[in-house]
Amino acid sequence: MVDHDVGHSITGGFVYRGSELPSLIGKYIYADYENGQIWALEYDGRNKTSNTLLIDTDLEITSFGLDENNELYFCAFDGNIYKLKVYYYFFNYFPYRHSFLFAI
């Protein structure tokens, strides 16, 4: 489903079902571990209809997760957890560092 000239080591993600990023609802969000790119794949049930680069980072993205509101987070090998946010001033996506606390 993903062109091999686009990705090298795909980190699987989720179909976005949150409410903070309405333009991504129903799209599969995934990343390339090697080059740090985050993509939105749209699929109509038979064919890939679009595969849009959301952001090109310098992160080694290892995993994706969801919160209780179905908002998407991702973690990277730098030890941080990030949340995809919209920066409306430039109408572009960018990673927002998210603090995360574990109760042990």
36-95 per-position pLDDT tens digit = 999 999 988 887 788 989 888 889 999 999 999 999 999 999 888 888 876 654 445 656
What spatial distance separates the first Cα and last Cα of the chain, rounded to whole Å? 40
* Distance separating alpha carbons of residues 9 and 19, to the nearest angstrom: 28
- The answer to whether residue 104 sits within a structural domain is no
CB atoms within 10 A of CB 104: 3
Instruction: Give the mean pLDDT of 25-45.
Output: 91
Residue 2 belongs to some domain of the structure = no
Q: Containing domain of residue 92, as a range? A: 10-98
Identify whether 5 is part of a domain: no
Q: Is residue 71 part of a domain?
A: yes
Residues 36/63, Cβ–Cβ less than 8 Å: no
Beta bridge partners of 8: none
How many domains is the chain partitioned into structurally? 1
